[in-house]
């Protein structure tokens, strides 16, 4: 792998991303404490590998979670999903997360370890039983170094939790694996005369694909919302954010997205009844936009990625069709390598549209299909295909558009259905191969 | 791309493949003439880019064809499939194929060009109208340099067709694009006391995935068979060969597999009635094995491939399930890069099994799933996962098994269903990125 190793230039490039995408400060929701430490899972003896988030505003936060659909569900996924289901999202106050080992395919010992992480965290934080959800990310098939984790938890829960920007950043760092920068976003929003805050963290990098992947993410807010309303909002938001991104088309055994709301900023609880419809709509829009922002950071940090690509499918018969087509393009290795090479090879885009598994015969009509590049500087779009006929493309202009980091491809299907979808992906590069060709050693 | 260009070592490796996989001689079916010339589609002014195959045994050969299911079907696919359908596979005597330009997404001019290639070929060979099928492969979206092709056809059909090994090799070379070696196989087989011959050619390299890809292939035989029986055999054989391979998961607009039989070696015609059952079975087995041999060559020459990987799924509930699971592994970028890196990361195999889209809930039971590596030297298999529990793996032995070119991964699903499937793929490498990141320039 020597020849292709990540050279000095790439390292400069990656740290450049960190300086652009890691915030220098933030606004964080009331009533939460977070932190991260090194407890000994990661072998370098220093990288943060254990994170906790805790609700300090009473012990009655509500939570919703979305889990991987992979049939080999890791132990923490099995244990956490059981708790969310049994408690119907009520009284879930804390998260405990380790990185460096996924606790996946680890048999009955793995299940015990996941439950022990919850039990020890609840004890350390003074929570009622099973108030904590657990997540793990890293290599599959090895048992956790559980004693290190279980002794790390009280150490972290003791003096190492807090609510400053540094605490949030450490929490975000502690959930990373091959990520080149921690993913942390926060924002304020207004609702019913109150100011609420949202904070979000994610871990991504590889194995990212539709319907989630080795993706851990959580949002917390101090807005008041019922468990049932939060559940509905999280599913809507995840569908349009974490389930609309792809790095390499692989979906992991550990994917988990959690939302927690503690109501610490006051106001009437928002539910999903008709009387709350306006507030519900605002909260859903805020959380969806926020989830997209976080999901996009995962794509920007896709393993080896040098480009951030938006696939915009318009005028589809249905949202489902639009998403299938966008996903097909986003997962095409040939398309992704062409983007890496600044090559306006739109034939590969068309090809991926053509083999996408849309259900209806009317979903795609070659003679009505349009493909364009949308320049990131707001200048006029470059048409590549108009109603199924290739344009004479100014290759120099095309290369110019493709040479920047942010690329948008627009597909107008011309069906008259008017439905659309946005999907985000990155390019497929030499660094991806270098990172994944020798990940474990 | 300089840094990652295909270095001297890789070029040695590729030419080594050519010396191992291109035959020095062959046995060819009676009554066929073939050839290839440079007519001017490829820009280097010398590479062969036009091929013809012609039945000289009367004008009554039968043919069957399988085409891409991509919704953007290239002009030659549309024109050829119409002819096969209209003629019900009867009286198809010739093939004309150009490489360097796919004649795909080329509007009405493209349709006219494809038909003109047929008309001019039929005229040059003295065929009845529409006795020829046309194929094209190469870049999408540019019109063919049709006058060069149409003047090349009579030149090729005149003195450049023949039946020697060199003629067959030139024909195989003339259909290549990014292939590093021409794919040509031939064999004799016995049936009802007659000796028959099969010859096959294919073009592959990139865009190879289940349900075909930029894949052109054809078999010809001098055995006597009805059009309807040949059709049934070709579908069976293609499903288990060209539709059971994957290079990069992309399926092209041009895929075509054609079988032609002229009966020149004599004997009673084989049909698909019950009275012919035994002969039909033998012919189907011969053609299927032969198609697998040819399809495997396409994988061996997968763009940038350094490994030839057999995925063997056993004890599935159905053949369909086994194939979906095998295909899911074969298309996982993470699995393919791990194989490139000689990394026994079986977690990625399990992960791809887990997200495969099998239909039934009983198709995969994590607690009954087994994964092993089968060494290519016939030594004992290395168990990685037994009934869902990870083995303590001898990493040195695993690296040893993975360090050779031919790798077999065995998945035993333990369902009791007993169905199985073999699938072939290659690794995902730096060379793949280098080839596809700058294909057009």
Name the pairing type of β-strands B308-316 and B419-426. antiparallel
- Which residues of chain B form CATH 3.10.20.340? 308-438
What's the gap in Å between the CA of A281 and the closest CA on chain B? 33
Euclidean distance between CA atoms B138 and B43, whole angstroms: 12
Between B205 and A238, residue with greater pLDDT: A238
Distance CA A79, CA A52 (A): 17
> Is pLDDT above 90 for B383?
yes
Residues making up the binding site of B for substrate: 177, 203, 214, 303, 436, 441
The verdict on a CB contact (< 8 Å) between A70 and B354 is yes
CB contact under 8 Å between A351 and B440, yes or no, is no
pLDDT at A206 over 60: no
Catalytic residue among A68, A121, A197, A214: A214
Provide the annotated active-site residues of B: 214
pLDDT at A314: 97
Q: How close is the nearest chain B Cα to the Cα of A173, in Å?
A: 24
Percent with pLDDT over 90 in chain A = 63
If you compute the radius of gyration of chain B from its CA atoms, what whole number of angstroms results?
22
pLDDT reported for residue B8: 35
What's the pLDDT at B71?
84
Write down the pLDDT at residue A212. Answer: 34
CA torsion angle B232 B237 B239 B244 (round to 10): -170
Of A348-352, A398-402, B181-185, which gets the smallest average pLDDT? A348-352
- For residue B3, the model assigns a pLDDT of 29
pLDDT at A437 over 80: no
Question: Tens digit of pLDDT for each residue in A152-199?
Answer: 999 999 899 999 999 999 999 999 987 889 999 999 999 999 999 999
Q: Is the pLDDT of residue B387 over 80?
A: yes
Question: Å from A333 to nearest chain B CA?
Answer: 6
Q: What average pLDDT does range B396-422 have in this prediction?
A: 93
Partner residues linked to B77 by β-bridges:
none
The model's pLDDT over B117-131, given as tens digits with 9 standing for 90+, comes to 999 999 999 999 999
Global pTM value: 0.80
pLDDT of residue A208 exceeding 70, the answer is: no
Residue found by looking up tokens 């096959």 in the block:
B200
- The model's confidence at residue A250, banded by pLDDT at 50, 70 and 90, is low
Helix/strand/coil for A300:
helix
Rounded mean pLDDT, B369-381: 93
**Mean pLDDT confidence for B55-73:** 91
B351 and A71: CB-CB below 8 Å? no
A203 is in an annotated binding site: yes
**What's phi and psi for A33, nearest 5 deg?**
-120, 140
Across residues A336-343, what is the average pLDDT?
Answer: 87
The nearest CA of chain A is from the CA of B201 a distance in Å of 24
Residue B244 confidence class, pLDDT cut points 50, 70, 90? confident
Interface test with A, best of B10, B334, B426 (most A CBs within 10 A): B334
Q: Is B225 helix (H, G, I), strand (E, B) or coil?
A: strand
- pLDDT tens string A389-434: 888 888 899 989 999 999 999 999 999 999 999 999 988 888 777 7
Region(s) of chain A under CATH 3.60.70.12: 25-301
Measure the CA–CA gap between A100 and A139, rounded to whole angstroms.
6
CA-nearest of B169, B203, B412 to B311 is B412
Contacts A3 to B, Cβ<8 Å: 7, 430
CB contact under 8 A, A341 and B428: no
Long-range contacts of A112-117 (CB under 8 A, 24+ apart): A113/A75, A113/A143, A113/A144, A113/A146, A113/A149, A114/A75, A114/A76, A114/A78, A114/A79, A114/A80, A115/A79, A116/A146, A116/A150, A117/A76, A117/A146, A117/A149, A117/A150, A117/A153
Look at residue B440 and tell me whether its pLDDT is greater than 70: no
pLDDT of amino acid A25: 94
**Average pLDDT of span A236-259:** 81
Mean pLDDT of chain A: 88
Measured CA to CA, the distance from residue B32 to residue B47 in angstroms comes to 24
Is the per-residue pLDDT at A359 higher than 80? no
pLDDT digits (tens, 9 = 90+) for A78-119: 999 999 999 999 999 999 999 999 998 888 999 999 999 999
Q: Binding site annotation covers A436?
A: yes
What CATH number was assigned to the domain covering residues A25-301?
3.60.70.12
Instruction: Read off the pLDDT of residues B209-229 as tens digits, 9 standing for 90 and up.
Output: 333 346 889 999 999 999 999
> pLDDT tens, A270-320?
999 888 899 999 999 999 999 999 999 988 887 778 899 999 999 999 999
Tokens of residue A314, six digits: 């318009």
Residue-wise pLDDT for B265-295, tens only, equals 999 999 998 888 999 999 999 999 999 999 9
| Start-to-end Cα distance in chain B | 12
Average pLDDT score, chain B: 88
Q: Which residue blocks in B301-393 are alpha helix, DSSP H? A: 319-330, 333-340, 346-355
| Number of helices followed by number of strands (H, E) in chain A | 12, 16
Give A-chain residues touching B251 at CB under 8 angstroms. Answer: 351, 354-355
* Among A105, A142, A248, beta carbon nearest to B333: A248
Q: Which two structure tokens, joined as six digits, stand for B406? A: 């031919």
Higher pLDDT, A68 or B103: B103
Residue A116 is encoded by which pair of tokens?
């022990």
Residue, of B310 and B243, whose pLDDT is higher: B310
Complex confidence, ipTM:
0.73
Q: Using the beta-carbon criterion (under 8 Å), do A4 and B249 form an inter-chain contact?
A: no
Class of domain A308-438: alpha beta
Of the candidates B1, B333, B441, the beta carbon closest to that of A250 is on B333
């Amino acid at each position: 792998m020597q020849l292709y190793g990540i050279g000095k230039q790439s390292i400069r490039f990656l740290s450049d991303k960190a300086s652009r995408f890691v915030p220098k400060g933030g606004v964080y929701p009331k009533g939460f404490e977070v932190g991260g430490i090194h407890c000994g899972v990661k072998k370098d003896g220093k990288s943060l590998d254990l994170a906790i988030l805790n609700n300090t505003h009473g012990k009655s936060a509500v939570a919703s979670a979305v889990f991987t659909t992979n049939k080999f569900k890791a132990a923490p996924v099995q244990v956490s999903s059981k708790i969310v289901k049994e408690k119907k999202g009520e009284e879930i106050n804390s998260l405990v997360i380790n990185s460096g080992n996924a606790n996946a395919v680890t048999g009955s010992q793995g299940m015990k370890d996941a439950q022990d992480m919850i039990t020890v965290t609840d004890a350390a934080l003074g929570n009622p039983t099973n108030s904590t959800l657990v997540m793990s990310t890293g290599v599959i098939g090895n048992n956790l170094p559980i004693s290190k984790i279980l002794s790390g938890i009280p150490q972290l829960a003791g003096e190492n939790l807090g609510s400053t920007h540094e605490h949030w950043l450490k929490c975000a760092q502690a959930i990373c694996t091959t990520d080149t920068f921690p993913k942390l976003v926060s924002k304020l929003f207004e609702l019913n005369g109150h100011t609420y805050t949202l904070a979000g963290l994610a871990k991504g990098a590889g194995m990212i694909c539709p319907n989630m992947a080795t993706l851990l993410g959580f949002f917390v807010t101090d807005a008041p919302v019922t468990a049932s309303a939060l559940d509905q909002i999280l599913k809507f938001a995840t569908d349009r954010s974490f389930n609309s991104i792809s790095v390499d088309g692989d979906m992991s055994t550990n994917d988990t997205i959690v939302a927690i709301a503690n109501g610490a900023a006051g106001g009437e609880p928002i539910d999903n009844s008709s009387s709350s419809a306006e507030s519900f709509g605002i909260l859903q829009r805020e959380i969806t936009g926020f989830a997209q922002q976080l999901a996009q950071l995962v794509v920007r940090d896709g393993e080896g990625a040098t480009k951030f690509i938006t696939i915009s499918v318009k005028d589809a018969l249905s949202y489902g069709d639009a998403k299938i087509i966008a996903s097909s393009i986003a997962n095409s290795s040939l398309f992704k390598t062409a983007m890496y090479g600044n090559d306006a090879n739109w034939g590969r885009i068309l090809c991926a549209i053509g083999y996408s598994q849309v259900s209806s015969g009317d979903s795609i009509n070659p003679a009505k299909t349009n493909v364009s590049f949308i320049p990131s500087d707001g200048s006029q779009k470059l048409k590549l295909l108009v109603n199924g006929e290739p344009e004479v493309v100014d290759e120099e202009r095309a290369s110019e558009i493709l040479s920047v980091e942010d690329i948008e491809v627009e597909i107008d299907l011309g069906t008259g259905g008017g439905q659309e979808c946005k999907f985000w992906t990155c390019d497929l590069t030499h660094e991806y191969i270098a990172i994944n060709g020798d990940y474990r050693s």
